Structure 1
Amino acid sequence: MTQGNDAATAHAWAVLGGRAGRAESVTYEGAGEVLAARLPVRELARATVGVCSLAAAELLALRRGVPVPAVRVREGAVATAFVSERYLRIDGRALTGFAPLSGFWRAADGWVRTHANYPHHRARLLDALDIRDAGDGPATTRRLAVEVATRPAREIQETVYAAGGLAVAVASTPAEPTVPMSAGSGAPPLAEIRTVEAGEGRARVKAGGARAGEAGTAGEGRPPLPPAALPAEGVRVLDLTRVISGPVATRTLALLGADVLRVDSPRLPERPDAHTDTGAGKRSALLDLSATSDRRVFEELLDTADVVVTGYRPGALDRHGLSPDALSARHPGLIVAQLCAWGWSGPWAARRGFDSLVQAASGIAASEAAADGSPGALPAQALDHATGYLIAAGILRSLTDRQLFGGGRHLRFSLAGTASWLLHGVGHTPVEGGPYDPAPWLTETPSAYGPLRHALTPVHYEGAPVTWSRPPTRWGTDLPRWS
């Protein structure tokens, strides 16, 4: 077992505003060569789970008036959870991996990475390149390969994005990312956290976290959290996220006792398998925010929410009056956590993106290249999962600070920020333990989808729950109300 003083854990804890020295108490139990890669993926994964576990333990200790429980992170559990979709079985069926048109394609001057897992993204990719859709068979795949090979990578990138699809030119080295992920020359930050103080009917945002001795009632409009058996028990979370990273964050909050309600538009269907993998502990409802009656229901939910988590592009929800400042003005004490792909400044901030695309454009794919020079990939959707645990940790820490000092919080995370940290800020550590066996970190649970075999949570402190209190419900079938 490795004792504290893990540099990556300490750094992430400090970024989240954690108390100095507390991260040194986190210990790690090795499992051998898990999440093996040229880049320090194992170290990234365990550090993000470590700070999430510590933030949960810290909040629980505050609510119960006891010392912070011991935090021990098991790398076997982390490795299993980071590839949870590979171990998931739904009534005995394995999940489908990346769609045939999602992948690396050789361009005239390099490589392109596409993402076409969703039907609308697939259709836009083919339309942008004037390719007739002949289904998912080899004919369409060959035609895409031929078409991409005739054009420069950046031309394909811009043509596909202009059509609403998803493609990026693959960076040849980490030193030269193909996508400007932040304004100026600075790298996107791992996290941005601001304290929001309500005053005179508007939100006034102050940089930095709350400081000891600052005035304010707990929550500024939100009642203090009472003693509880779980860190987030009684916390109400509106989950406006999709795919992996945001749902991993809210799934973790649900594990820790939060009442999590995921809200989606009925006009933007979700892939059932993706929802099954990340929907444990939560409920799922559909609301059209453009419809008066649905918007009224949504505002009623907001009135008593503690946390709102969004995973849409910067500015995408502003037209609904759901910008962080607007939310904070109407709901003092609210914690708003935002996630995006490419960072919060720069020309690509408002573009759509996924883990695989950020890996390609940031230089991660070049770092993991094969011997023949073709781009590679991390052993997991590690940016997604790591960012998810960072978001959960940031929210838990914000609940702690709100309890102590009052005020709301505004948190921002990005896959690009996590990618930059992996490339330039996380170091390798010695491998310990082993051999790795995923079996102890898998369980079976009945659900509305049939029997599930799924990964257990890697988040752990002394006395922590081992798994979720309920399985995922069917997407969009729950009533839009708190439990």
Structure 2
Amino acid sequence: MTAEDIGFVWSALGGDPALLRRISNVERGAVLEARLPVRELARACVGVCALAAAELGALRAGLPDVPEVRVDDGAVAAAFVSERHLLIDGRAPVNFAPLSRFWRTSDGWVRTHANYPHHRARLLSALGLPADATADTVEAHLAGRSAVDVEDTVYAAGGLAVALRSAKEWAAHEQGAAVSRGPLLSRERLGDAPVRALAPLAGAPAGAPLLPAAGVRVLDLTRVIAGPVATRTLALLGADVLRVDSPRLPELPDQHADTGFGKRSATLDLDRATDRRTFEELLGGADVVVTGYRPGALDRFGLAPEALAGRRPGLVVARLSAWGADGPWAGRRGFDSLVQAATGIAETEGSADRPGALPAQALDHGTGYLLAAAVLRSLTERTREGGTRLVRLALARTAAWLVNGIAPEPARGSYEPGARLAGTDSDLGRLRYARPPVSFAGGPDDWARPPGVWGTDPARWS
């Protein structure tokens, strides 16, 4: 990790540059190897997250110095592919469904995403294919259509498909231009609010870890990987994280198992008056609200940042999207694999015969750690200065940074992931999982609880 790269990210977070000297890198060699500097991105994202945690922990504990941060390549690499290391009673999860892949079209390639049943249904309906269509049927159908035609048709039907583009083509695209103009992450002060200092961290049992987010209540309205990685990290650091989903949009059980560590999970239907009242009670006690839906998708429930600021002054609002808040694609759904296809990453990592992929869903994981870092820094600023805070990040902006903004470094040594894996019993069965990579002197080295069954916890704060 170069000083320039991590300094760039820490500056985007509003951090004091003098604190960068508290970070050291433990190099474990050739990890996350790719043509693009994935290893360097991963180090920087995890490093600033750990530094933001150490800074908040020092502030709350009254420490004279911010604890030292260690970025271990092996831990980072294992965490960035945590979904691949996960075993549930010895069974490896299926991370991509048969219709989530690249397909050759008449003029190139298109990437689809159909892991969720409703996305599969919309994809097949948009293509005019039966609900039980096989991959061979889809392949034959798409071979006769242009990639952009498929992209437009599927998105118009609420499905997910993106034509493969080169980095040059994406830069010339209106959405690519809109993303590249924006900052790596957006930080705003939504309004004035009194200083809401978090309780001092004192009186912990001897040997107990320093938990910078202890007592912080996080309302987690995210799905898939990036948002849940962020809130999983906040849970590691002591936050009371309650994930809330609609009962009409069930989560994939294996996906929840990987990202549900440290958290509780409840369901509320915000179209029902009783559930809306419960949600408003939760909001009234929240310190942080994290959303991972398309910009504007939750506004009808009063969850626009300005509306939240009006009802809960002093709140930290963190918003994550695929394509960003501006541009013609701002309202589109998206996932890491689709963003890789659109932004030139898949072409860069591929061959003359077929598009490729990064060695990890690095846009998801990297943005997740950046999001957690932005929340932690916002809590530090709120403690010192008050105010209601808004942070916004997008997978496509992280992709632009990966493609154009990071200096690669040569790899050294070797890597063995085994030491970074752990096991625990849970309500889901016996789990093997990747330990968290966020590490600082005196901090936690694992989550306080394993994931539970999705949607089965009561919708209330601990």
Is the structural similarity TM-score above 0.5?
A: yes
* Residues 193, 411 of structure 1: 8 Å contact kept: yes
- 1:132-171 equivalences under 5 Å are 132-134=130-132, 140-171=134-165
CA distance in 1, matches of 2:72, 2:410: 15
Q: Which residue identity does 1:40 align to in structure 2?
A: P
SS of residue matched to 1:446: strand
What is aligned with 1:355? 336
Q: 1:185 to 1:46 in 2, by over 3 A?
A: closer
Quote the Cα distance in structure 1 between the aligned partners of 2:238 and 2:303.
25
The offset of 1:131, in angstroms, is 1.6
In 1, the alpha carbon distance for the partners of 2:399 and 2:75 equals 22
The answer to whether the Cα contact below 8 Å between 1:6 and 1:24 also exists between their aligned partners in 2 is: no
Q: What is the aligned partner in structure 2 of residue 55 from structure 1?
A: 52
Indicate the RMSD between aligned Cα atoms, in angstroms: 1.5
Residue in 1 that maps onto 2:123 = 125
Cα distance in 2, alignment partners of residues 6 and 164 from structure 1: 42
Superposition map of 1:238-249 within 5 A: 238-249=219-230
- How many residue pairs get matched? 454
Q: TM-score, normalised by structure 2?
A: 0.96
Contact kept, 8 Å, 1:170 with 1:178, in 2: the verdict is no
Deviations 1:127-146 (A, max 9, x none): 111122336xxxx1111111
Q: 1:396 to 1:297 in 2, by over 3 A?
A: same
Structure 1 residues 421 and 387: alpha-carbon distance in aligned structure 2, compared to 1, 3 A threshold: same
The 5 A counterparts of 1:278-293 are: 278-293=259-274
For structure 1, list consecutive stretches of 5 or more residues without a partner in the other structure.
Answer: 199-215
What corresponds to 1:452 in structure 2? Answer: 431
> What letter is aligned with 1:423?
V
Alpha-carbon deviations, 1:62-94, whole Å to 9, x = none? Answer: 111111000011000000000001110001110
* Preserved contact between residue 177 and residue 363 of structure 1 (Cα < 8 Å): no
**3-state SS in 1 of match to 2:95:** coil
Is 2:230 aligned against 1:230? Answer: no
Secondary structure at the aligned position of 2:188 is classed as strand
Other-structure match for 1:204: none
TM-superposed CA distance for 1:177, in Å, is 5.1
What amino acid sits opposite 2:368 in the alignment? G
Pairing partner for 2:380 from 394, 400, 418: 400
What TM-score comes out, normalization by structure 1 length? 0.91
Task: Name the residue aligned to 1:381.
Answer: 361
Which of 445, 452, 457 is the matching residue for 1:478? Answer: 457
Query: What's the CA shift for 1:441?
Result: 0.4
State the one-letter code of the partner of 2:17. Answer: A
- 1:184 offset after TM fit, Å? 4.8
Q: Find 2:61's aligned residue among 45, 64, 67.
A: 64
Q: How does 1:31-430 map to 2 (within 5 A)?
A: 31-66=28-63, 67-134=65-132, 140-176=134-170, 180-181=174-175, 184=178, 186-198=180-192, 217-219=194-196, 223-228=197-202, 229-370=210-351, 372-430=352-410
Are the aligned partners of 1:235 and 1:258 in contact in 2 as well (CA < 8 Å)?
Answer: yes
**Local SS of the residue matching 1:93:** coil
**Alpha-carbon deviation of 1:430?**
2.8
Q: Distance in 2 between matches of 1:235 and 1:329?
A: 20
Greater shift in the superposed pair: 172-181 or 455-464: 172-181
Residue 454 and residue 185 in structure 1: after superposition, are their counterparts in 2 closer, same or farther (change >3 A)? Answer: closer
**Kept after mapping to 2: 8 A contact 1:182/1:343:** no
Cα 1:196–1:441, aligned 2, differ >3 Å: closer, same or farther?
same
Q: Give the Cα–Cα distance (whole angstroms) in 2 for the partners of residues 184 and 441 of structure 1.
A: 39
CA deviation after TM superposition for structure 1 residue 301, in Å? 0.7
Displacement of 1:179 in angstroms is 5.6
8 Å CA contact 1:237, 1:260 repeated in 2 = yes
Structure 1 residue 23 corresponds to structure 2 residue 2: no
CA distance in 1 between counterparts of 2:155 and 2:249 reads 19
Specify the SS of the correspondent of 2:442.
coil
SS in 2 for 1:27: strand
Task: Indicate if the aligned counterparts of 2:216 and 2:287 stay in contact, CA closer than 8 A.
Answer: yes
Q: Which structure dedicates a bigger proportion of its chain to helix?
A: 2
1: distance between equivalents of 2:173 and 2:162?
A: 8
The Cα of 1:105 is off from its aligned counterpart by 0.8
Q: Which amino acid in structure 2 is aligned with residue 388 of structure 1?
A: G
For residue 196 of structure 1, report the CA deviation from its aligned partner. Answer: 2.5
1:451 alignment partner, SS class? strand
Map Cα deviations across residues 349-396 of structure 1 (whole Å, 9 max, x no partner). 0000000000000010111012x3421100000000000000000000
User: Offset of 1:31 from its aligned partner?
Assistant: 1.4
Q: Is the 8 A contact 1:336 1:409 kept in 2?
A: yes
| Maintained 8 Å contact 1:154/1:168 | yes
Q: CA, structure 1 residues 189+271, in 2 after alignment: closer, same or farther (shift >3 Å)? A: same
Decide whether aligned partners of structure 1 residues 9 and 185 sit closer, same or farther in structure 2, where only a CA change above 3 A counts. closer
Report if aligned partners of 1:71, 1:460 keep a CA contact under 8 Å in 2: yes
- Which piece of structure 1 moves more, 172-181 or 16-25? 172-181
Aligned partners of 1:46 and 1:75 also within 8 Å: yes
In the aligned structure 2, how far is the partner of 1:132 from the partner of 1:175?
Answer: 33
Q: How far, CA to CA, are the matches of 1:310 and 1:97 in structure 2?
A: 23
Work out the CA distance in 2 between the residues paired with 1:183 and 1:291: 40
Which whole-Å CA distance do the structure 2 matches of 1:59 and 1:123 have between them? 45
Residues 176, 343 of structure 2: 8 Å contact kept: no
Which residue of 2 is the match for residue 437 of structure 1? Answer: 416
Counterpart CA distance in 2 for 1:266 and 1:176 is: 37
Give the 3 Å change call, closer, same or farther, for CA 185–470 of structure 1 in structure 2: closer
Give the 3-state SS of the residue equivalent to 1:338 in structure 2.
Answer: strand
Separation (CA, whole Å) in 2 of partners of 1:360 and 1:189: 21
Residues in 1 aligned to 2:234 and 2:167: alpha-carbon distance in whole angstroms: 36
Letter in 2 for 1:117: N
